[in-house]
Amino acid sequence: MEVYAAFYSYTDYEIGRIINYLEQIDQLDNTLIAIVLGDNGASKGGSQYGTVNPQINKLKGEERIDAILNARDIIGTDESSTDYPIGWAMATNTPFRYWKADANTEGGTRNPLIISYPKVIKEKGGIRHQYGHVIDVLPTTLELAKAEVPEVINGYKQKAVEGISLAYSVENAKAPSRHTVQYYEIAGSRAIYKDGWKAGAHHEIGETINIGEKADPSGKKIDFSKDVWELYNLNEDFNERINLASKYPEKLKELQALFDEEAKKYNVFPLKDFTAHNMPEGRSIYGKSSVITLYPGVDHLVGVSNPLYEGKSFSVKAEVELVTGKEEGVLFALGGENVGISLFIKEGKLQFAHKSNNQIAHLVLDKPLPKGKSVFRFDYNFNGGDEIAGTEALYINNEKIAERSFTKKEATVYAGNKVDGTDVGRDLIAPVSDRYQVPFEFNGKLKKVVIEFAKKDKITISEEK
């Protein structure tokens, strides 16, 4: 939690820099600023002990606790992907119930909004209690700035802006709320708000986020009618302490019908939870794609833009044309500072480097490379064994030229670094190998790089060159 507090302080400082600059150029009074303090609600993703990075998150019981304690110094660095324990989530969400992704509760949806526009909003430190939703920020901005949304852009007719401006509340702090109806839904958990009343149903997803091949895209196997609805009067009970469902059953039915109406209007139906998707174990725009093709100039892929490598077997093929035989540089690189892998040519030799815990192992072809078109490839075969966790091999045109095995401690290929990810044709930020300096850009002809993940337990390498 100390890291989160530091991040908040850092964010506050950086916002302050923007404010100071706007003052320096005499534009602060003419700038509308909207700040939402939060991301739906405090996250429950850290579960009981919290998370550090994908490697530690896979551990169980005492082994995981010990690993978290020993990794305290990397929390908050580029080598971590951290979520606090759920106890801290409860503390930071107080006085609201539950957490982020619980769309049925205020704890999963309620955040403070700060709006500043000195030229128009003269009151300083004023507080407003009207109901608002994130979709109201744009219409509020448009009205306060006296701006208009064009009906047609580049020949395309635009949809109407949804949401209701909150500008009315600037002059009248006690004005009644104008945004009177709003639905919420995430993975089956859902709620409907109307005039201060709120009905919501929690949908339990359990371990279904990793349902894998049993996923049902139709979503028809799940009976959402079994979810239990609750009813609250937020006008008198802002943090949902008293469930009024049994006391006012007709009010509950009215709101349930309204949810159905809004859900149909805004394409929420059919309801689906994570059982409808074969989700990857992590966030990536590539999902569970078994073949990913990248081209020179595509680099610095981090976060959700990066493929998911860890704990998988895969191959990387680089289609190259050598004209002089003196070409060199990085063909493919992943990570670099403490952990990573790299395929490169240096001094006429094809080489593969694997860095783990700052220790680097190399595979090298000691004979001259063939001129013309070739496919240079390495295989990373992971079996998860306690002693020998797998092997990695280097190939030229499907001929194996070098191979080594690695231990469990040496198996990591990527530590979830938020700065140094996948690079094609060069190695940015930090070098994987100590045999070159970044970016060591390849100066030959690199057509493309193909990453191919194993199907089940065995790598399937296509023979196409």
Cβ partners under 8 Å of residue 236, min gap 6:
none
At 463 the pLDDT is: 37
Distances in Å between the Cα of 398 and the Cα atoms of 353, 406, 450, 462 are 19, 22, 14, 10
At 397 the pLDDT is: 95
Least confident range of 79-88, 314-323, 386-395: 79-88
Least confident range of 50-54, 74-78, 206-210: 206-210
Q: Token pair for residue 67?
A: 């690993």
Mean pLDDT in residue range 71-88 = 85
At 313 the pLDDT is: 95
Query: Which SS3 state, helix, strand or coil, does residue 197 take?
Result: strand
CA angle 199, 200, 203 (to 5 degrees): 160
Cβ partners under 8 Å of residue 202, min gap 6:
98, 102, 104, 105, 189, 227, 228
Q: State the pLDDT confidence band at 458, using cuts at 50, 70 and 90.
A: very low
Helix (H) / strand (E) containing 13: helix 2-24
CATH, domain range 291-453: 2.60.120.200
At 447 the pLDDT is: 97
At 446 the pLDDT is: 97
130 neighbors 178 (Cβ within 8 angstroms): yes
Measured in degrees and rounded to the nearest 5, phi and psi for residue 434 equal -85, 10
Least confident range of 132-141, 171-180, 378-387: 378-387
Measured in degrees and rounded to the nearest 5, phi and psi for residue 30 equal -100, 15
Q: Tell me, what amino acid is at 87?
A: G
At 128 the pLDDT is: 96
**Residue 431: alpha-carbon gap to chain centroid:** 25
At 412 the pLDDT is: 87
Q: State the pLDDT confidence band at 266, using cuts at 50, 70 and 90.
A: very high
Least confident range of 78-82, 286-290, 423-427: 78-82
Distances in Å between the Cα of 79 and the Cα atoms of 52, 83, 85, 242 are 9, 13, 18, 43
Instruction: Name the H helices within 72-201.
Output: 86-93, 137-144, 168-171
Q: State the pLDDT confidence band at 457, using cuts at 50, 70 and 90.
A: very low
Cβ partners under 8 Å of residue 201, min gap 6:
104, 189, 190, 191, 227, 228, 229, 230
Instruction: Name the H helices within 94-136.
Output: none
Query: Which SS3 state, helix, strand or coil, does residue 288 take?
Result: coil
Convert the pLDDT of each residue in 22-67 to its tens digit. 999 999 999 999 999 888 889 988 888 888 887 788 788 899 899 9
At 127 the pLDDT is: 96
Convert the pLDDT of each residue in 221-255 to its tens digit. 788 999 999 999 999 999 999 999 999 999 999 99
**What is the residue whose two structure tokens read 């169980």?**
60
Q: State the pLDDT confidence band at 121, using cuts at 50, 70 and 90.
A: very high
In this predicted structure, the answer to whether residue 298 has a pLDDT above a threshold of 90 is no
HSE-CB for 214 with a 13 A CA cutoff: 9
In this predicted structure, the answer to whether residue 431 has a pLDDT above a threshold of 90 is yes
Strand partners, 377: 317, 395
Mean pLDDT in residue range 140-156 = 94
Going across the sheet that includes 388-396, the strands are 291-294, 445-453, 314-322, 372-382, 388-396, 399-407
Give the total residue count for the chain: 465
Break the chain into its structural domains and give their ranges. Answer: 291-453
At 281 the pLDDT is: 64
Measured in degrees and rounded to the nearest 5, phi and psi for residue 236 equal -115, -15
Mean pLDDT in residue range 284-296 = 90
Convert the pLDDT of each residue in 175-202 to its tens digit. 999 999 999 999 899 999 999 999 999 9
Q: Looking at per-residue confidence, does 309 or 217 come out higher? A: 309
In this predicted structure, the answer to whether residue 428 has a pLDDT above a threshold of 80 is yes
Kindly write down the DSSP assignment for every residue of 322-344, as one continuous string.
Answer: ESSS---EEEEEEE-SSSEEEEE
387 neighbors 408 (Cβ within 8 angstroms): yes
120, burial (CB in 10 Å: exposed 0-12, middle 13-18, buried 19+): middle
Q: Token pair for residue 133?
A: 């939703």
316 neighbors 451 (Cβ within 8 angstroms): yes
Q: What separation, in Å, do the N-terminal and C-terminal C-alpha atoms of the chain show?
A: 50
At 81 the pLDDT is: 79
